[in-house]
Amino acid sequence: MESLLFLRGVVIGFALAAPVGPVGILCIRRALADGRYAAFIAGLGAACADTFYGAVAGLGITVISAFLVSHATALRLVGGLFLVVLGGRTWRTPPRFDPQPVSGPGLARDFLSTFLITLSNPATILASMGVFAAMGVMGNGPAAPSRLLILGVFAGSSLWWLVLSGIASGLRAKFTPGALARLNHISGAALMLFGAGILASLGWSLWF
């Protein structure tokens, strides 16, 4: 029974992480620029945020979920601005075709970036609640099995980032310096568009 609960968590974590969005773009770009390890560390930031939201939904922590939903506007504003700034920096970053291994502050920065991007998206908590409800594990079990479920969410989300970073890094040999420069521009533009879309939807909702 406990192993089944853990596997349910793995499925939930994988489902939460799999949709391609800003973090997916960052992870792919990091894999092509700096390799599989750097990309996986970046993905772990999103996995931790997914796990946090999964814990809120799985354990039925209504105080936190209510706080997040009530402050959705501020979170969307922060997330949108962060993506626009990050996209601009990505656009201006010169390509590094033969990079040195990334460590220390660089890895920590990538981890925190993806963690904040995922955490500042209120839709993540709603998606978590929807997936947990669909799986029939919406915060009504004992504490120990619930912890196993949350651990499964982290494992499932981490598995997705491991797979994505591995596939993307495997394609790195096919990229020329010019192609990597274009990738920086495409990635930066996509991130800025994601951020602008969030800000535009926020302005629309406030105006109307």
Query: How many Cα neighbours within 13 Å face the side chain of 197?
Result: 10
CA dist 74 and 69 (Å) reads: 10
CA dist 46 and 115 (Å) reads: 5
Buried b (16+ CB within 10 A) or exposed e, 111-127: bebbbbbbbbbbebbbb
Q: How many CB atoms lie within 10 A of CB 140?
A: 10
Among residues 16, 83, 101, which one has the least CA distance to residue 53? 16
In the chain, how many domains are there?
1
CA dist 23 and 8 (Å) reads: 23
Q: What is the pLDDT along the chain (208 residues), one digit of tens a residue?
A: 567 878 888 988 888 888 768 888 888 888 887 888 889 999 999 999 888 887 877 676 666 767 766 777 787 788 888 888 888 888 887 766 555 555 667 788 889 989 988 888 766 766 776 666 666 555 555 555 577 888 988 999 999 999 999 998 888 777 777 777 787 888 889 889 988 887 888 777 666 5
| pLDDT score of 47 | 93
**Dihedrals φ, ψ of 176, to 5°?**
-90, 165
Q: Quick check: helix, strand or coil at residue 120?
A: coil
| pLDDT score of 135 | 60
Which range marks the domain in which residue 19 is found?
2-207
Predicted TM-score (pTM) of the model is 0.77
